[in-house]
Amino acid sequence: MPPFEYDDDRGIVISLTVADLDTSIDWYGKALGWTLAYKLDEYGWCELETPNASIHVGLGQSEELKTEGAVPTWRVKDIDAARAHLEGIGTRFDGDTSEVPGMVRLATFFDPDGNPWMLAQVLPAA
């Protein structure tokens, strides 16, 4: 049993620090197709809706960027197509797509503020 009760109906919010809220909202829309759920200009905060209804990404504008920590990983059906799209809009990747044979292909990329994200394509069982 967990030490407290989770609010399963609300899902999870992954929070990131960004330099410019509007630039980041635009980038995440173009790069990943996420849409704005709401924006609080007076707090420099917004939440974006992802394809998974239980996961939102919160962006907080700050002069001091913090881009260290966990690397959220998104499963995709075709990593080559996803990577080509992201590279087509100038997204920076950390090297080539890697593969764990018979298991998964992985590619790490960065948002405009250097926050790391990863794509993962699960491979069919051998």
What are the tens digits of pLDDT across the range 64-101?
A: 877 677 789 888 999 999 999 999 999 999 999 999 88
Is residue 92 in a domain?
Answer: yes
Is residue 67 in a domain?
Answer: yes
Question: Quick one: pLDDT band at residue 51, thresholds 50, 70, 90?
Answer: very high
pLDDT at residue 18 is higher than 70 = yes
Total domain count, the chain: 1
Is residue 1 in a domain?
Answer: no
The structure's pTM equals: 0.76
Is residue 6 in a domain?
Answer: no
Other Cβ atoms within 10 Å of 38 Cβ, number: 10
Q: Where in the sequence is the domain holding 107, given as residue range(s)? A: 12-122
Residue 71: which CATH number? 3.10.180.10
pLDDT tens track for 107-119: 999 999 999 999 9
Is residue 71 in a domain?
Answer: yes
Give the model's pLDDT for residue 10.
61
Is residue 75 in a domain?
Answer: yes
